[in-house]
Structure 1
Amino acid sequence: MGLKDDLERYREIGEERRQDLAEFIQYGDLGGSRGDEVRIPIKIVDLPEFAYDQRDKGGVGQGEGAEPGDPVGQPQPQPGEDGDEDGEPGEEGGEHEYYEMDPEEFAEELDERLGLDLDPKGKKVIEETEGDFTDITRTGPSSTLDFERLFKQGLKRKLAMDFDEDYVREALKVDGWGPATVFEWAREKNIVVSKAWIEDAYEGIPDEEKTKWASIEEMEENVEQTDTPQRIRREGVDEIPFRREDERYRYPEIVEEREKNVVVVNIRDVSGSMRQKKRELVERTFTPLDWYLQGKYDNAEFVYIAHDADAWEVDRDEFFGIRSGGGTRISSAYDLAAAILEEEYPWSEWNRYVFAAGDSENSSNDTEEKVIPMMEQIPANLHAYVETQPSGNAINATHAEEVERSFRDSDNVAVAYVSSPEDVIDAIYEILSTEEEG
């Protein structure tokens, strides 16, 4: 087994021993990851490496003029050890301590872990391309003529119009029969032949042969009729009756390539009641949802809104750590979210997710009179509210219950309750399963 095999085996072990996905979401260091790379700790030993023979680097021994145990030399520094050649000690990070996955892989694993399989919807048409030549029209350039179809139509007509000419000629040789009688006989026998053809054929029969058969029964008893398939197999097809009305021209189907666009609006209460434990639970719930949706869609953008009694847009680095001392008015965040979505992310082009989190405390009547109507007015794939109350519900923490009650029969509103890290996976499932059902 070579070094390459050793490294492959190391990677396999790392994947097997990395922290369980649910355990990572509930208790792991989410801040060690980036938006495009999820880093999950691995519980394994160091990378395999060579152990060099120390005998050439000094040691102890016995030689002329030396006593046993005297040093015979000092180890010489290797390149990079003193920073003289290949870099300073510690420049290389301990990447072997993490299993790295992109958001797409994270989404696949979370789907598997939760038993979900969300199918993201394409919104914005980014390109119209010509697909297969599957559509048909009656006119077009000769290069696009569907000759195979034309041939089949002609062959069908050939089969429908074909008859055993020799058999009909023998009927014209029945004593006392003429073209009119033979034509009526042919119609009774379902032989598709024109009266004009019969008349022409009758004229071509010598007079002495026109009395060959005493009766039609004698003729039919002595002459075997050959059906069309037998005759084609034996004689082939001399000509196919093509008609212009059978011509069809192929042209390509126009395929719309739809880019799967998503915008995720994350709203967080940063008022004085949102202490550290509550903020941490928001981060543990929202961060995996961000990774998941980024992995599902072609193009994902994120909007972060913080609010107390007023709302303002922040970047992601500020979002989970910021805290103010003001009161709480959740509707201010929805007002700002509606304005941003309307201006920058039209519903016709963007899938939308609006996620809000807090401890369910809100100013009097704000939930019923403003927030719930706003949630009804903002078009979105999914609205969700996550209540974070580590110590249980506060007296005035009724926002989540009011939202849940108002949208009990809705298929695009989810409410989840998180009081500890153990609740995070269930909350994520509640949110994503609501989207799947919708």
Structure 2
Amino acid sequence: MTSTDQTTAGAAAAPETPAPPRQNQILKEIFGGSAMISFLAIILALIFGGLLIVLTDPVVQQTSAYFFSRPGDTFVAIAEAVGGAYAALFRGSVFNYLRADEFGAAIRPLTESLTNATPLIAAGLGVALAFRVGLFNIGGRGQILIAAAAAGYVGAYVPMPPVIHLIVALVVGLIGGALWGGLVGLLKARTGAHEVIVTIMLNYIAFYLISFLLRTPGALQAPGQSNPRSGPMLETAVFPKIAGEEYNLNIGFILVIVATIYVWYLLNRSAMGFQFRAVGENPHAARVAGINVERTYITVMVIAGALVGLAGVQQALGNFTGGIAAGLDAGIGFDAITVALLGRSKPIGVFFAGILFGALKAGAVTMQAAEGIPVDIVLVVQSFIVLFIAAPPLVRALFRLPTPDPLFHWRKPQLARKAEVTK
């Protein structure tokens, strides 16, 4: 027998390495998956935010001067500074336990968080949907402004019957956002223009276009005034409140829930969503498989623009009854990118990420009023969240998390499940 035959026989006789138990693979997926990374990124961001609070707190600075003689004072000051800041953040965003005797007042912070989250979720869904197709949609500001201007014009200057007026203003606003987003997809498909450059330029065009219209009598500017602001929304075009007149939460939150369900169904249960995901994974392979990649780019940007436009409609018809202005986007277009990243471009993840950022925005005001902590601390926390979300290996290294198996699937293959049933 030759050496080659001996090697072949030895290899054939060598026992196969047994596959690890499925329970171990599931635990590895849970503790090393994207959901755990996102959760730990939030924890790390809060820790770093706490460090900034400690470094800027005057009481901590005073007690640290005599740390070696009385170290307990410094530790107490640190605990009071961080605990007081985050307790105020909780009171302003979730539940005001200081007014627990009045249930309506106690839950008002939660309604404010959901109100702030409504446009963030809508815009985040639009950005996330484009991400899934491989497009970086940073044109949220322009799409919000165009949608808000379209909906605001109908809502302020076109009287209609109550229900019809609201529906028409909503649809017109969504069409405005869809057209502005679809223009990006059209330029991408027909000319190959990079969507990042196109969306940035369209942001400027939208901003200055709306600013011009708000200064032009007979366009968007309210009659009889010189301020760059439209007239107030007619009562028939304002989103109705869903929790009572004492709360700002309106039907826009219901609309973003519907939008979240729609995007989930689109991506996971529809043929169009399969095409979106295929193009996002590999546009060249998708083209070989017969998918019209250029048409997919246009379609996804139309839908993404409509979703982001829903945020603009919320800004115009939600609680903004005093009219629209050029700055009504309030940075939502760029915050939506952070929301989409934190939500891992998945609809459910985007929904809860939007609620988190809405809570941070609502609680920042209470934190500043009660503890004197600058609102900028919350912006720093958000920035740290983005930093850690963008660096999963760093989070895994800090917490010694396992790396998930890319070939692992939560559900067993259909043939394997049938084999177990027939045993």
What TM-score, normalized to structure 2?
0.17
Q: Tell which has more relative contact order, 1 or 2 (C-alpha 8 A, sep 6+).
A: 2
Q: Based on CA coordinates, which of the two structures has the bigger radius of gyration?
A: 1
Question: Which structure carries more helix by proportion?
Answer: 2
More strand by share: 1
